[in-house]
């Protein structure tokens, strides 16, 4: 079975502070992992995917297969980062994504 | 390029009424999805269609039916709405490579806010 767990429903940090949104997964094969973001009243959009190993809007995420984690990090939070963040997993050859429960990130001025 | 469009955007239903949420994509994607978004529950897959002519249940299919009318359109029907179906519904589409690929992603519509009273 595939499962994605985001243990924090709410996360609040001050502007300029580091941010880490946690994501753990359960999957026996080699997963494909994603982070999606939903800004207020907007549609969900892709933030980054693990195979790209890219930094988007200052965010990075590293797949740790030993810990089955894909935590999202940013060294210095900005107010515009306030949004809902979802971690998602696609199993090998699967035609669907499984999402976590989401973390609402609030950046305080 | 509109991407994924869904209608209606807002709807209030009485318990027991029926309605259909419409979704269309113009990206020539094979796969289409219906998710519901609830506070604390995240996004849960209701039904999906991996290709034209096929549909499969997701995590929470009870109380819903779907139709993949053609490659572009995927509708979600509530036959007898219940208050537990009050939610935000998202349609999405994608085309997945067989393996890992930089182009792999899923595209979402803007959402449909449904309230059942």
Q: What is the pLDDT of residue B101?
A: 61
Q: Which of B53, B106, B113 to mutate to test the interface with A (most CBs of A within 10 A)?
A: B106
Q: What is the pLDDT of residue A68?
A: 94
Confidence label for A52 from pLDDT (cuts 50, 70 and 90): confident
Task: Please list every residue in chain B whose beta carbon sits closer than 8 Å to the beta carbon of residue A98.
Answer: 45
Whether residue A16 has pLDDT greater than 90? yes
Whether residue A91 has pLDDT greater than 80? yes
Flag if A96 and B100 touch (Cβ within 8 Å).
no
Q: What is the pLDDT of residue A87?
A: 97
Q: What is the pLDDT of residue A29?
A: 86
**What integer is the mean pLDDT of A17-36?**
94
**What integer is the mean pLDDT of A9-37?**
95
**What integer is the mean pLDDT of A31-37?**
93
Q: Please list the rounded mean pLDDT of every run of 10 residues in chain B (117 residues).
A: 90 97 94 93 93 93 95 96 97 78 81 96
Q: What phi, psi does A81 have (nearest 5°)?
A: -80, -10
């Amino acid at each position: 079975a595939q499962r994605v767990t985001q243990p924090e429903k709410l996360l609040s940090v001050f502007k300029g502070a580091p941010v880490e949104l946690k994501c753990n997964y359960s999957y026996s094969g080699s997963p494909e992992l994603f982070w999606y973001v939903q800004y207020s009243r907007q549609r969900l959009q892709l933030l980054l995917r693990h195979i790209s190993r890219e930094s988007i809007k200052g965010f990075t995420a590293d797949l740790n297969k030993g810990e089955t984690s894909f935590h999202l990090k940013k060294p210095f939070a900005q107010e515009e980062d306030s949004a809902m963040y979802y971690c998602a997993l696609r199993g090998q050859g699967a035609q669907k994504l499984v999402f976590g429960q989401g973390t609402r990130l609030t950046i305080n001025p | 390029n509109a991407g994924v469009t869904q209608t209606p955007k807002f709807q209030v239903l009485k318990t027991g009424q029926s309605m259909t949420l419409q979704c269309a994509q113009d990206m020539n994607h094979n796969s289409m999805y219906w998710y519901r978004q609830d506070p604390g529950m995240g996004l849960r897959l209701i039904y999906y269609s991996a290709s034209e002519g096929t549909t499969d249940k997701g995590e929470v299919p009870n109380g819903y039916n779907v139709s993949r009318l053609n490659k572009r359109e995927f509708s979600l029907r509530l036959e007898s709405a219940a208050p537990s179906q009050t939610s935000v519904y998202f349609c999405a589409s994608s085309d997945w490579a067989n393996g890992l690929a930089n182009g792999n992603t899923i595209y979402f519509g803007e959402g449909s806010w449904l309230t059942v009273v």
